Amino acid sequence: MADAARTLRQFLLSPRAFFEERPPARTLPIAAGLVVLLAACLTAGILALEVLIEGAIDATVTMDNPDRPPEPFCDGQFGESGSFDDGCDEPRTIERDAGTLVAEAMRRFLWIGMVGPFVMWFLGGVVLFGVGRLAGGDPSLGGTFALAGWATVPEIARLAVGIGGLWLVLSNTTITNVDQGSAALEAALAPVSPWLTLASLLAIGWQWQILTAGLAEDADLSRAASGVAVGVPLAIFGLLYLL
């Protein structure tokens, strides 16, 4: 337990010493486990957001009744009624809870939580290998993919902050007008948006620190060269994320 606490403290406070003692390529199994953990957390986060939004919406919408056949079958356009008129006595429209509809729509995006982290892991490993080569280093594929996996730790922290901020906002928000739902959500999120942006910037800075230390060790680069090699793609990613 003491060794685990020391290792965790070293990773958080001195990633350079952490990777000097543990070459990145040797930590690939742990890094892969961190990617799996991020996928689980992101999927759980989407489900949590679904519940939060569903609870914040207190409104109904009018929609076509899926249990009623199309009108041509009920008004006799396709011959004698009776062949296709099962359900024609059902109302043409029904009222549905808007929050439930939004939750059902969000559930379709669960695949992003399950697949997205692995796609980003692959792209991150390839990019780190490429920039390590461009910087004149000799990175290993195992090492760069391990580093891309370790970079998920700040992402997990950022996700926790984001879900926590949304919970604080949405638990005290009630949307009664569906047409004004987007505007109401924007207004509710306005107080926490700067904090979420700050959390994102801190997470990117933390990733830069981890990847700079790790790539310098894995690719045999100077700290400065590694910092520049890592900083360029991270800066581009950060700008795309924040825009």
Chain segment 99-151, per-residue pLDDT in tens: 888 888 888 889 999 999 999 999 999 999 999 999 999 999 999 999 999 99
For residue 226, being part of any structural domain is answered with yes
What is the tens place of the pLDDT at every residue in 185-241?
788 888 888 999 999 999 999 999 999 999 999 999 999 999 999 999 999 888 887
For residue 70, being part of any structural domain is answered with no
Nearest CA to 150 among 217, 97, 207? Answer: 207
Structure tokens at 120: 């980003």
For residue 81, being part of any structural domain is answered with no
For residue 29, being part of any structural domain is answered with yes
The pLDDT value given to residue 76: 57
Per-residue burial over 130-167, b = 16 or more CB atoms within 10 Å of its CB, e = otherwise: ebbeebebebbebbbbbbbbbbbbbbbebbebbbebbe
One-letter amino acid identity for 116?
Answer: G
Range of the domain at 146: 17-60+98-242
For residue 66, being part of any structural domain is answered with no
Query: Within a 13 Å sphere around the CA of 151, how many CA atoms are in the beta-carbon half?
Result: 28
How sure is the predictor about 92, in pLDDT bands with cuts at 50, 70 and 90? confident
Under DSSP, the state recorded for 95 is E
For residue 71, being part of any structural domain is answered with no
What is the tens place of the pLDDT at every residue in 14-50?
999 999 999 999 999 999 999 999 999 999 999 998 8
The pLDDT value given to residue 243: 67
The pLDDT value given to residue 125: 95
How sure is the predictor about 182, in pLDDT bands with cuts at 50, 70 and 90? confident
For residue 108, being part of any structural domain is answered with yes
Structural domains of the chain, count: 1
For residue 82, being part of any structural domain is answered with no
Nearest CA to 16 among 208, 209, 191, 226? Answer: 209
Question: Ramachandran region of residue 218, left (φ > 0), alpha (ψ -120 to 50) or beta?
Answer: alpha
Burial classification of residue 47, based on how many CB atoms lie within 10 Å of its CB (0-12 exposed, 13-18 middle, 19 or more buried): middle
Decide if 218 contacts 147 (C-beta within 8 A): yes
How sure is the predictor about 57, in pLDDT bands with cuts at 50, 70 and 90? confident
